[in-house]
Amino acid sequence: MRTELAQQPVDATTTSAWADLTRLSDALEPDLRGWFANDPGRAGRFAFQAADLHVDLSKNLLTDDVAAALVALAEQTGVAARRDAMYAGQHINVTEDRAVLHTALRRPAGAGPALHVDGQDIDSDVQTELAKVYAFAEKVRSGEWTGVTGQRVRTIVNIGIGGSDLGPVMAYEALAPYVAEGLECRFVSNIDPTDVAQKTADLDPATTLFIVASKTFGTLETLTNARLARDWLWRSLAEAGAVEDTEQGRADAVAKHFVAVSTALDKVAAFGIDPRNAFGFWDWVGGRYSMDSAIGASLAIAIGPERFAELLAGFHAMDRHFATAPLASNVPVLMGLLNVWYTNFRGAHTHAVLPYAQQLHRFPAYLQQLTMESNGKSVRADGTPVTSDTGEVFWGEPGTNGQHAFYQLIHQGTRLIPADFIAVAQPAYGLTDPVGDGKAVEAGADVHGLFLANFFAQTKALAFGRTADEVRAEGTAEELVSARVFSGNRPTTSILAPALTPSVLGQLVALYEHITFVQGAIWGIDSFDQWGVELGKKLALEIAPAVAGDEAALAAQDASTASLIKKYRELRG
């Protein structure tokens, strides 16, 4: 079911829109101050609503002509057709010959028309697995599911890596106010043994449940950590006298304290997990797109099925916007086009994501995998070399933390760094400053309001800067004026939501999924494979014997690698 859309992508650089954008960029002299002063309607014209998200694009380096040319680029490269092919289940992941159907994970029950792909009833498969996850979550939350000693679960430890970790941990942190009292989730991902040791150090094994998340149940890091966790469980329960240190005692412990998210039921069973306690997903779900599948089981337990359903509804709301809104008012399309504009025409290499919401502190890390694993490609979907730069380095930190770290570079550095600012109007924790500072902040001031004053101020400062005359007017000594000038014209997008609810989180994640899709479609690449992560993993398996002392394996290494391994072995003693 391969699609010609994927096999023969349009070369964006050959389109008339690309030529128009090149001409417009060459002639563009950014002047956000002037643009706003001369165009009272600019703020309203470049602000859009997508589900619950208010998205203001007006502080971008965007004119009406640039916006029109960008939309034309989307039209001429077939973005809408490729989007529709994805929703229909065509195999747009060509290197793996797979459909790309993460959007099907959040289709509501009974949605029409029914989705049948490759002989499978996708809707039925999704709803069946989701019901299984929900039923298990209710058992854990109610105390019906107990550990081997009969005690209810208090801590869920999710063991995964990549998409099996980044999505669940980001969402758990973001939705912390919704987590059931008496439940906690921890997340183990790094193969560094420190990770699992620290995450289990203060846990009671009798009240701990491990979720091992690995589609193939063969991911080296995940299975290594799962074995370490299993050994910890056996040892700790035996030392406490909770189980006998026998084969049967160990089997009983694993059966009650381990479940899996995997489709490799034979390997799950060999590990000791009852296959009935394994939750599956499908090869049409990429790992970085899987947090709303059974990979989110830890989150479903923590916040409950009702809230998890709200998360899925938020995803679906953005999916519908992306599928139906005209290109000229389609927020994921416009944001994806802006990223192309900055990457290919304005010389940007990185992209900052700056959430003014502490609960979203892991969101930039989540987006790093989503965007860079998807669009870090140098060949197109048909195997030919790309004809333009692709991808951006995504990075960021929450709120005022970033202001006191790297904002200097964004404000006054020599590099263009587009930035997305994200904030919510209603905080999870509404606090007032009991004292104030006697000047700008009075006693009883709303701290969230003060926080968001920074959100508004930073985008204003980046857009409009401060001229030399304005600096002089403040009484600054002439020799210091140049150091205090801000050039402005630093592009930002502002995203404002009512509150960080499960639905809003789903909308945010889906928004960036679709932004990533749009960029990949324009560049003609396959955004849904990740062959770039495979070589290092393969070589690690080949090098491991040399690290362990195999001299023949050591001799097979290049001089630099061999020297490093020898030094490591020397230091290790």
Say yes or no to pLDDT of 523 above 60. Answer: yes
Average pLDDT for 160-182: 96
Q: Is 537 a catalytic residue?
A: yes
User: What's the confidence (pLDDT) of residue 295?
Assistant: 96
Say yes or no to pLDDT of 120 above 90. Answer: yes
Catalytic site residue from 116, 349, 537, 566: 537
User: What's the confidence (pLDDT) of residue 6?
Assistant: 44
Catalytic site residue from 129, 373, 397, 513: 373
Residues 6+ apart with CB under 8 A from 55: 47, 48, 49, 331, 335, 493, 494, 495
Residue 1's pLDDT band, with cuts at 50, 70 and 90, is very low
The per-residue pLDDT for range 197-251, each reduced to its tens digit, is 999 999 999 999 999 999 888 889 999 999 999 999 999 999 999 999 999 999 9
User: What's the confidence (pLDDT) of residue 301?
Assistant: 98
User: What's the confidence (pLDDT) of residue 7?
Assistant: 58
Pairing of strands 53-56, 47-50: antiparallel
Average pLDDT for 542-568: 95
Given a contact cutoff of 8 angstroms between Cβ atoms, the answer to whether 196 and 188 are in contact is yes
Say yes or no to pLDDT of 433 above 90. Answer: no
User: What's the confidence (pLDDT) of residue 5?
Assistant: 45
- Whole-number Å distance between alpha carbons of 423 and 456: 10
Q: Is 551 a catalytic residue?
A: no
SS3 (DSSP) at 528: coil
Pairing of strands 393-395, 445-446: unpaired
Say yes or no to pLDDT of 4 above 70. Answer: no
Say yes or no to pLDDT of 141 above 80. Answer: yes
pTM (2 d.p.): 0.95
Residue 519 structure tokens: 């960029």
Say yes or no to pLDDT of 551 above 70. Answer: yes
Say yes or no to pLDDT of 74 above 80. Answer: yes
Q: Is 404 a catalytic residue?
A: yes
Q: What mean pLDDT is reported for the chain?
A: 95
User: For residue 303, which of 264, 359, 262, 263 has the smallest C-alpha distance?
Assistant: 359
Say yes or no to pLDDT of 438 above 80. Answer: no
Average pLDDT for 327-333: 98
Q: How far is CA 445 from the centre of its chain?
A: 34
Catalytic site residue from 116, 239, 349, 404: 404
Lowest mean pLDDT among 86-90, 217-221, 250-254, 315-319: 217-221
Given a contact cutoff of 8 angstroms between Cβ atoms, the answer to whether 164 and 220 are in contact is no
Segment (H or E) for 208: strand 208-213
Residue 526's pLDDT band, with cuts at 50, 70 and 90, is very high
Say yes or no to pLDDT of 2 above 50. Answer: no
